[in-house]
Structures are given as structure tokens and as C-alpha cells.
Amino acid sequence: MDLVTILVVGSSVLDQVSRVERFPVAGESVRGSDVQHFAGGKGANQAVTVARLGARTIFSSCVGNDANGHEMIQALRCEDIDCSHTEFVNGKATGTALIALNNEGQNMIIACLGANMAFSAEFAYKVAHENLHHVLLLQAEIPLETVKAAAEASQGIVIFNPAPSISIPAGIYPLVDYLTPNEHEAAHLVDHPVNSIADARKAAQELLARGCRNVVITMGSHGAYYANEKDSGHVTAPKVNVIDTVGAGDCFNGALAFAIAHQTPLHDAVKFAVGCASISVTHLGAQSGLPYWDELPASLKQSLGSPKFV
């Protein structure tokens, strides 16, 4: 594989996970298992994904100047990720996610973003401007003005994963080469349900009309739908033994960024990303199941075709 550079500007979050037999309804308490702690955050998860696949990875984030923040960044450095553009913020706690996980591997998450929301637009612009990269990967666990600043400064391909669900200002769409919501996030953006491929097709056309150049909507076990002005299609997901879906979307986005950085055609890039995400859900913990290149099935590697630099 050629060595590409992917810059991830985004979040670091400590995941606190408890298993439940079923999710509670409003006003109800249910028993959970002992709490387990995992490194997470959409930005960090995506950075680990692209690093394990073999890209040169630069990760910029804001964490608290606390034990959790230093421990999480050190763990990312051990993944051979360049974390030199990290800010340790005094007076703000490192982000935390409270996660309930049911017996089917589905999750409910409360994200307490803490220091991530101290990520300034000026810092993000500087990082994106000064670090050459093939792809810039962004998410919505940092301020949207920070997302916009990084996208404006980037001279690479911009992928924006609008997660968790947010409303995107009109000025951001034209800065985005690939918009990658899941079905719930897409429904929030277009204000109608996205429960089927037909719904996804309609939503994608609406989002393309706002100025982004490609839309990829992930749909869990139903795979992903993609569209641009010239092409569209649906990639199905393989059936696997689902243990934990936390981080599956992040794995998808990291793998998509890796494929796009190698100029892989969109259908094949989405197929590769779906395959990687399907591997990730067979392990507990957002980063535990993120696959290494050498562990991928040969058929999945072949979906990249003949990779080359952007």
C-alpha cells in the first residue's frame, strides 16, 4: 500500500460502558453490569482506524489536563498516531460518554463532551493549514465553527461525519466532499424518516442539493447508500455475530477515508468501509475491534483495487 496522510480533527472521549438486558423507558431504572472503561470519541476512533489500516495519521484534539486526557493521548501515540497537535485544557474535564449496551449489541449513549467543546476555530484552522494531508476527517463532537474552520483551511478531500445528530449551517455543505450521516442523523438533517433505501435515496438528493459533492448514508445492518451527481448505489452488509455496535460508524468513516485517499471508486470505497465496520462490531469496546490491515480478509483488501496517491 502507498503511504497516505489522513488528518483527523475531532474528539477524544472516555467511554464508560454498562450492559443492560433492555433499555429503560423515561422515568425507569434498570440494572446494569459493572462499568467498563474504554478509550473512545468519534475523532479518536476514526484516527485509530486509519492508523491500523496503514495510513500516516495526524490527530488533533482537545482533552482535559487530567489523568484521563493524558492516558488517552498516550494510548493513541502507541498506535503510531501523531498527537503533537493536542491541547491539554486546564479547568475542563476530558470528554466522557455514558453508554448502555443491550444483549443485541445496540447502544444508547449520552456524550458529555467537556474539553472537546474548547476546541477553537483558530487552532483547527492552523492545524489544517500547516499539515499537508490527502484527506481531512471531521465529526460533530467539537464546535461547528471549528469544523468549518478546518474545512476552509484544508487543501485535501474533506469528509464530514455529522455525528451526533446536529443541524448543519448552510455555509458548511459546500466545503464538504463527502457527507456521511447514519440514517438517524440524515433524518434529522432532512426532517423526514430514513427507514429504507428509498428514503435514503430521497435524503441523499436533498443533501446534495445543499452543496456537498457526495453523500454516504450508513444504515447499520442494512449497509450503506451512496450518491453524487453521476452515480448512486447501495452496498449490503455481511451477516456477523454482533457484540457491540459502539464505534462501528467511526470504523466506517475511517475506512472510507483510507479508501478515498487511495482514489478508490466510491462503490468500492463504501464496500471496503462496510466490510471493516462489520468486523468492528464483533468485539466489545469502540477501539478494541477496529481492524488492522494485516487481519483483513483478502477479498476485502481487493475491493480497494490498485491503490494510488490522490
Catalytic residue among 2, 66, 250, 268: 250
Per-residue pLDDT tens digits for 95-151: 998 889 888 878 888 888 999 999 999 999 999 999 999 999 999 999 999 999 999
Query: Residue 308 above 70 pLDDT?
Result: no
Which residues have C-beta within 8 Å of that of residue 132, sequence separation ≥ 6?
Answer: 5, 155, 156
- Assigned C-alpha cell, 276: 471493516
Domain coordinates of the chain in residue numbers?
5-10+44-86+120-302
Q: What is the pLDDT of residue 310?
A: 35
Percent of the chain exceeding pLDDT 70 equals 97
Q: Does domain 5-10+44-86+120-302 have CATH number 3.40.1190.20?
A: yes
Tell me, what amino acid is at 61?
S
The contacts of residue 116 (CB under 8 Å, 6+ apart) are 10, 11, 12, 13, 41, 61, 62, 63, 95, 141, 142
CB proximity list for 206: less than 8 A, separation 6 or greater:
190
Give the separation between CA 124 and CA 153, rounded to whole angstroms.
Answer: 8
Lowest pLDDT segment from 104-113, 119-128, 169-178, 255-264: 104-113
Residue 250 bears catalytic tag? yes
Q: What would the pLDDT profile of 13-41 be if each residue is shown by its tens digit? A: 988 889 899 998 899 999 998 888 888 89
Average pLDDT, the chain: 93
Counting Cα atoms < 13 Å in the Cβ hemisphere of 155 gives 7
pLDDT the model gives residue 106 = 84
pLDDT category at 306 given cuts 50, 70, 90 is: low
What pLDDT shows up at residue 309?
38
Q: Which of 217, 250, 223, 243 is nearest to 97 (CA)?
A: 250
| pLDDT tens digits, one per residue of 194-223 | 999 999 999 999 999 999 999 999 999 899
Q: Which amino acid is at 57?
A: T
Average pLDDT over residues 241-263: 92
| Tens digit of each residue's pLDDT (9 = 90 or more) over 154-166 | 999 999 999 999 9
Terminal Cα distance for the chain, rounded: 13
